Amino acid sequence: MKRQKRDRQDRAYARGYQAGASGRSKDLCPYQNLEVKSEWLGGWREAIADKQQGLIR
């Protein structure tokens, strides 16, 4: 069961990163579960930071 939970969180992080990299707003997070939403926002923040550093176009 923990593996399934981790996979969901990993997927949320990756989708958040993709959203941030494409310039979408963090308000568009599709998750309601606090743990999963937190992972999505973490990915989003990382992508925004990478964009500001010039690592992503």
Closest CA to 27 of 37, 39, 14: 37
Which pLDDT score is estimated for 22? 95
Which pLDDT score is estimated for 17? 97
For the chain, the domain total comes to: 1
Q: Compute the distance between CA of residue 46 and CA of residue 21 in angstroms, rounded to an integer.
A: 9
First to last CA, the chain: 37
- Return the CATH number at 16: 1.10.10.620
Domain-located, residue 57? no
Can you give the residue range of the structural domain that contains 36?
2-52
Residue range 1-54, pLDDT digits in tens: 566 667 899 999 999 999 999 999 999 999 999 999 999 999 999 999 999 999
Which pLDDT score is estimated for 6? 75
Which pLDDT score is estimated for 37? 97
Q: Compute the distance between CA of residue 53 and CA of residue 28 in angstroms, rounded to an integer.
A: 23
Domain-located, residue 44? yes
